[in-house]
Amino acid sequence: MAETLKIPVLVVDDDPFLRDVLQRFLQRKDYTIAMAEDADEAIAYARDIPFTVAIVDIFIHGMDGIELANELKRINPALIVIIMTGHPSLDSALSALKQGVQDYLIKPFSLDQLEESIQRCLRERKILEENSELKKNIEALEDKIREYEKIIRQSHVVHQHAAAEMKKQKARGDAVYRDQSGQNVADTLERLLRLKEEGVISEDEYTLRRDTLKGTE
């Protein structure tokens, strides 16, 4: 079943018989209907009611139907406009398209054709809305990805800096260790020399211990 319940539709035509036929048909299809016989009445309705669809005859009192379509869409940019005409022409069809009219019905048309036109326009608008929402979601996701990439780059820089600092600290520690080790060897050699000079150890023992210590430098 077509989704028509509570969809507000404005019909603009100066033919009372056609207005009555369209009103009865669209009400049976569960649309909410407002009928206008001229441009002024249609504009007044549009300012008070956020219509989803407007079905507009190309020849009406007060304004050309295509001009009225433009005015109605200025009031409600999301409005779907379907033009009806009993005198089709390429110029009027092109003009209608330029004004953002969604469909162009040539009289006489069947009521089923009208219903099909309305439903097709509603489906197309739904697709456009879904595409727009999808585009927004993709853009939001791309923003998040760029933010994550920025955080990762910053983390990488911090990691590199920390690693470089650790290498510097290790190098300084190794240098201090080497200095301390060298100083310890020098002190021990000095003590060995005093012990030899004092006769506590022999020349051979002194030479052996000295060579052993120097091998650890």
DSSP symbols for 51-82: -SEEEEESEEBTEEHHHHHHHHHHH-TT-EEE
Domain check: are 24 and 97 in the same one? yes
71 located within any domain: yes
What integer pLDDT is reported at residue 214 of this predicted model?
65
Other C-beta atoms lying within 10 Å of the C-beta of residue 126: 11
For strands 8-12 and 53-57, give the pairing. parallel
Domain check: are 29 and 101 in the same one? yes
What integer pLDDT is reported at residue 159 of this predicted model?
65
What integer pLDDT is reported at residue 216 of this predicted model?
55
Consecutive 10-residue runs of the chain (217 residues): their mean pLDDT?
Answer: 71 94 94 94 95 93 87 94 86 78 90 93 85 74 74 69 67 52 66 77 78 64
Cα distance between residue 47 and residue 43, in whole Å? 6
What integer pLDDT is reported at residue 9 of this predicted model?
96
What is the domain extent for residue 38?
8-109
148 located within any domain: no
Domain check: are 103 and 184 in the same one? no
Cα distance between residue 41 and residue 110, in whole Å? 26
Domain check: are 101 and 24 in the same one? yes
118 located within any domain: no
Number of domains composing the chain: 2
Reduce the DSSP state of residue 89 to 3 states and report it. Answer: coil
CATH of the domain at 40: 3.40.50.2300
DSSP symbols for 90-132: HHHHHHHHHTT--EEEESS--HHHHHHHHHHHHHHHHHHHHHH
Reduce the DSSP state of residue 200 to 3 states and report it. Answer: coil
Domain check: are 94 and 173 in the same one? no
Domain check: are 102 and 179 in the same one? no
Strand partners, 60: 63
200 located within any domain: yes
105 located within any domain: yes
Find out whether 56 and 12 touch, Cβ atoms under 8 Å.
yes
158 located within any domain: no
Residue 204 tokens read as 């051979």
What integer pLDDT is reported at residue 177 of this predicted model?
46
Angle, to 10 degrees, between the axis of helix 111-197 and the axis of helix 16-28? Answer: 50
146 located within any domain: no
Q: Which of 88, 109, 130 is the last residue of a domain?
A: 109
Q: In what order do the strands lie in the sheet with 8-12?
A: 32-36, 8-12, 53-57, 80-85, 103-106
What integer pLDDT is reported at residue 213 of this predicted model?
64
123 located within any domain: no
Rounded to two decimals, what is the model's pTM?
A: 0.60
Rounded alpha-carbon distances, angstroms, from residue 28 to 52, 54, 79, 111: 17, 17, 22, 12
What integer pLDDT is reported at residue 18 of this predicted model?
93
